[in-house]
Amino acid sequence: MTELAELPATPGAARTQGRPRSSRAHEAILEAVLDLIEEGTTVEALSMEAIAARAGVGKATIYRRWAGKDELLLETLVKLKGPPTQPLGDSVRADLIRLLSVVGQKDQRAVRVMPCLMPEVSRSPEAYRIWQEAITEPRREVMREVLRRGVATGELRADLDIEVVVSMLISPLLLHRMVRWNPRLDEVDDLTEQIVDVVLQGVAA
C-alpha cells in the first residue's frame, strides 16, 4: 500500500547527510492545523500562512514535507481517524452497529475536515487514491469481513454483493455527518440500528 510518503529531500539522492528534519516541526504543523480547525476557522481562512504562523514554523518547512494544502489536510485527517474500529465477533448485527456507530463521530474535527477535502478528492486522482487507501478501504475491509462471516454462518444470503451492502450501510451515515443530509435524522438516535435492520432483513438468507 502506497503511503503518504514524505517528499524526498533530493529525489534519488541519499537522505542521510545534513541536518535531519525536525519531528518537532512536523508535529507542530499537524497540531496547528487541528487547533485552527477546532477554533472554527473557515476553509479559506485555513491558509498555509496561518498554519505556519500558528505552528511557529517557516512556510518552506511545510512545503518541504507536503506538496500542498490538500496533502497536508489529508494527512491530518488520516492522523485524526486513526486505525478502524475492530469488530468484537459477537453477532453480525452487533458488529455492524458497533462499526457504524463511530462513522464520523469519534472526533468532531474529522467531520469538519472531510467536506473540505471533497473538492480535491473528487478531482485529483492522486488525492482520491490516498483518501481511499488511508481512510476508506481499511474501514470497508473490516466491514466486508463481518459480512463474509455472516455469509459463512448462513445468516446472510450467499449471493449478496458485499460491496453494495457495505456502501448501503456506510453512505447514509457518512453523508449525514458531512452535510446533515437530513436534519430530521438527528432525532433518530437509533438511525444506525434501523439501517442495519433494514439491510439485514433485505439480505437475510
Q: Which does 168 bind (CB under 5 to 8 A by kind): DNA, a copy of itself, none?
A: a copy of itself
What span, in angstroms and rounded, lies between the C-alpha atoms of 106 and 134? Answer: 16
DSSP 114-173: HHHHHHHHHH-HHHHHHIIIIIIHHHHHHHHHHHHHHHHTTSB-TT--HHHHHHHHHHHH
Cβ(160)–Cβ(202) under 8 Å? no
> According to CB under 7 A, which one of 30, 31, 35, 69 is a site residue for DNA?
69
Give the residue with the Cβ less far from a copy of itself, 57 or 121: 121
Interacting residues with a copy of itself (CB under 8 A): 42-43, 111-112, 115-116, 118-119, 121-123, 128, 131, 136, 140, 160-161, 163-168, 171-172, 174-176, 178-182, 184-185, 188, 191, 194-195, 197-203
Give the residue with the Cβ less far from DNA, 63 or 128: 63
Using the rule CB under 7 A, is 43 a contact of DNA? no
What span, in angstroms and rounded, lies between the C-alpha atoms of 104 and 188? Answer: 16
CB of 54 to DNA, least distance (A): 10
Residue 73's SS3 state is: helix
